[in-house]
Amino acid sequence: MTASDRFMKKISDFYDNLGYPVVWEGEGSKRQLEIQFKSESGYFVTATLLARGDDIVIKDEWGRENVVKATKGNLELIKSWSEER
Say what the pLDDT of residue 12 is. Answer: 94
The per-residue b/e assignment along 66-76, b for 16 or more CB within 10 angstroms, e otherwise, is: eebebeeebbe
pLDDT tens string 11-39: 999 999 999 899 999 877 678 999 998 77
Please state the pTM of the whole predicted model: 0.83
- What is the pLDDT of the chain when averaged over all its residues? 88
User: Is the pLDDT score of 85 beyond 70?
Assistant: no
User: Angle at which helices 3-18 and 72-79 pack, to 10 degrees?
Assistant: 20
Q: Where are the domains of the chain?
A: 3-77
Confidence of residue 83 (pLDDT cuts 50, 70, 90): confident
Say what the pLDDT of residue 40 is. Answer: 77
